[in-house]
Amino acid sequence: MTHLHDLATTHCKPCAAGTPALTDDESRALLEQLEGWALNDQRISKTFQFKNYYQTIAFVNALAWMTHREDHHPELAVGYNTCRVEYSTHSVGGLSANDFICAAKVDALFKP
């Protein structure tokens, strides 16, 4: 896999049948381009903190719009002032570049 220079400006691509999941080394290399994301059991995740419920839901709505455009959707755990975002690619049985691309886009949504 080639190095993705700017994950936040790259777009997701459908994974063709038989596409393998990223190797641990490939996943770790891409993870280095993200801040605060954790790699665990073929998933990446991050918890975002907010001042209140309104800000949390505004973030969730922006995230939903972005993931719909990219056609790559995370698992979310939403609380009053937190949102945990978790990515993996079911069709490859692990992580794909799409997970890291969307994680970078989520980070871009969170920046003030």
Instruction: Give the residue extent of every domain in the chain.
Output: 38-112
Q: Which residue has the tokens 């790559």?
A: 72
Strand partners, 77: 84
Task: Tell whether the torsion through CA atoms of 87, 48, 110 and 78 is positive or negative.
Answer: positive
Tens of pLDDT, residue by residue over 15-45, are 888 899 999 999 999 999 999 999 998 999 9
Q: Which residue has the tokens 């049985």?
A: 93
CA atoms within 13 A on the CB side of 39: 20
| Residue 1 confidence (pLDDT) | 41
* CATH number belonging to domain 38-112: 3.30.1360.20
| Residue 112 confidence (pLDDT) | 62
pTM score, two decimals? 0.90
The amino acid at residue 65 is W
- Gap between the Cα atoms of 78 and 65, Å rounded: 16
Tens of pLDDT, residue by residue over 47-91, are 999 999 999 999 999 999 999 999 999 999 999 999 999 999 999
Read off the pLDDT band of 5 (50, 70, 90). low
